[in-house]
């Protein structure tokens, strides 16, 4: 997929708007996912997005998308964006992204997608990388849920029993080498109903399973 960066898609610095590039990435990835599934697809998430270099006005924007991994009803699609100087033909990687798409029927229900055929070593390596990226993303998401759940339960418990959430200990001395500092008590008053709500929300995060890609 190729675009020409015109002033309408550029900022005051003469470089592409990040939002415009994201839109092109979404379209390129959707076309790739739909070609694989041969069904209607929708964007479920943009798991990774990295801007490596700006795209200048007048440069050609070349997007390449490929299905990296296929699961039961979802697909991981990788997209790279290169900027090409129209006068020299020199290309530079400017953006990379990883998106998840889900195949749906007309009623909005999920549909199974065909397995990914990996004929070459490069394709098999890309498929393994897609599966590894999914596992890492799930592990990171579960770790964040746990940390947030513990923090909410702790804050709610402190607010319920003490009426406030302290986030500095009175006259605590912090030492870093020869440097010493004292912290004073700062409190946020928390009503008991709100405290109970924090405990319930934190417990739900710890107990209920998170969303997994299927």
CATH number at 89 reads 3.10.129.10
Q: Is pLDDT at 178 greater than 80 in this prediction?
A: no
Q: Does the pLDDT at position 51 exceed 90?
A: yes
Domain check: are 111 and 153 in the same one? no
Query: CB of 147 within 8 A of CB of 95?
Result: no
19 with 91, same domain? yes
Based on the domain organization, do 104 and 50 belong to the same domain? yes
68 inside domain: yes
Q: Find the range with the poorest average confidence among 65-74, 87-96, 179-188.
A: 179-188
Say how many domains are in the chain: 2
Look at the pTM and tell me if it is higher than 0.85: no
In a domain, 113, yes or no: yes
Whether 21 maps to a domain, the answer reads yes
Q: Identify the weakest region by mean pLDDT among 1-5, 61-65, 93-97, 193-197.
A: 193-197
- In the predicted model, is pLDDT for residue 34 greater than 90? yes
Widest distance between CA atoms in the chain: 70
Same domain, 172 and 77: no
Tell me whether residue 42 is in a domain: yes
Residues 152 and 87 in one domain: no
Report the C-alpha gap between 184 and 168 in whole angstroms: 6
| Mean pLDDT, range 47-57, rounded to an integer | 93
Question: Do 79 and 34 have their domain in common?
Answer: yes
Measured CA to CA, the distance from residue 186 to residue 168 in angstroms comes to 6
Whether residue 79 contacts residue 99, with contact meaning beta carbons closer than 8 Å, is answered with yes
Over residues 142-160, mean pLDDT: 67
Identify whether residues 94 and 30 lie together within a single domain. Answer: yes
Structural contact between residues 1 and 31, judged by C-beta atoms closer than 8 angstroms: yes
* ∠ Cα 21 117 73 (to 5°): 65
DSSP H helices in the chain: 18-37, 121-162, 192-207
At 47 the pLDDT is 85
Domain of 56 in residue numbering reads as 2-117
For residue 213, tell me if it sits in a domain.
Answer: no
Does 100 share its domain with 156?
A: no
Q: Is residue 69 included in any domain, yes or no? A: yes
Mean pLDDT of 59-74: 93
Q: What is the pLDDT of residues 6-24, one digit of tens each?
A: 999 999 999 999 999 999 9
Strongest mean pLDDT among 10-19, 132-141, 156-165? 10-19
- Tokens found for residue 106: 């007309």
Give dist(CA 103, CA 118) in Å, integer: 20
Instruction: Let me know whether 69 and 21 are in one domain.
Output: yes
């Amino acid at each position: 997929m190729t675009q020409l960066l015109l002033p309408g898609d550029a900022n005051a610095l003469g470089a592409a708007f990040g939002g415009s590039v994201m839109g092109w990435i979404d379209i390129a990835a959707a076309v790739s996912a739909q070609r694989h599934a041969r069904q209607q697809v929708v964007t479920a998430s943009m798991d990774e997005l990295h801007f490596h270099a700006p795209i200048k006005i007048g440069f050609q924007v070349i997007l390449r998308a490929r299905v990296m991994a296929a699961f039961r009803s979802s697909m991981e699609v990788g997209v790279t964006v290169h900027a090409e100087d129209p006068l020299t033909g020199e290309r530079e990687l400017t953006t990379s992204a990883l998106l998840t798409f889900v195949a749906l029927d007309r009623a909005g229900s999920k549909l199974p997608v065909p397995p990914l055929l990996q004929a070459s070593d490069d394709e098999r390596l890309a498929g393994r990388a897609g599966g590894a990226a999914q596992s890492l993303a799930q592990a990171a998401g579960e770790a964040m849920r746990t940390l947030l759940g513990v923090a909410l339960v702790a804050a709610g418990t402190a607010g319920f029993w003490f009426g406030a959430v302290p986030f500095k200990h009175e006259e605590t001395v912090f030492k870093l080498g020869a440097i010493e500092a004292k912290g004073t008590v700062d409190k946020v008053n928390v009503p008991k109903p709100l405290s109970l709500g924090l405990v319930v929300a934190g417990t739900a995060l710890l107990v209920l399973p998170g969303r997994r890609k299927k």
